[in-house]
Homo-oligomer: A and B are copies of this chain.
Amino acid sequence: MSDITTTRPAIRNGVDTAALFATLDAIKGDPEIAKFQFRASNRWIAGTHSQSTMDGFFGAKQEMNHATAYVAEADHPAVLVGADNGPTPTEYLLHALAACLTAGVANIAAVRGVNLTEVTSTVEGDIDLLGILGLSKDVRNGYQQIKVTFNVKGDDPDKLRQVVEQSRQRSAVYDVLTNGVPVSIDVVTG
Contacts and interface: CB of A to CB of B under 8 A. Distances in A.
A38 B127 contact: yes
A13 B82 CA distance: 12
A57 B79 CA distance: 11
B94 A93 contact: no
B54 A74 contact: no
Contacts of A183: 97, 145-148, 174, 177-178
Contacts of A171: 132, 141
A134 interface: yes
Interface majority SS (helix, strand, loop, mixed), chain A: mixed
Contact of A143 (B43, B66, B181): B181
A31 B83 CA distance: 23
Interface string A138-165: 0011111111111111000100110010
Interface string A159-186: 0110010001011111111111111111
A39 B146 CA distance: 9
Contacts of A142: 172-176, 179, 181
A88 interface: yes
Given A129-B27, A174-B141, A175-B140, A99 B50 contact: yes
Interface of A: 13-16, 19-20, 23-24, 27-28, 31, 34-50, 52, 54, 57, 59-60, 64, 66-67, 70, 72-107, 116, 118-136, 140-153, 157, 160-161, 164, 168, 170-190
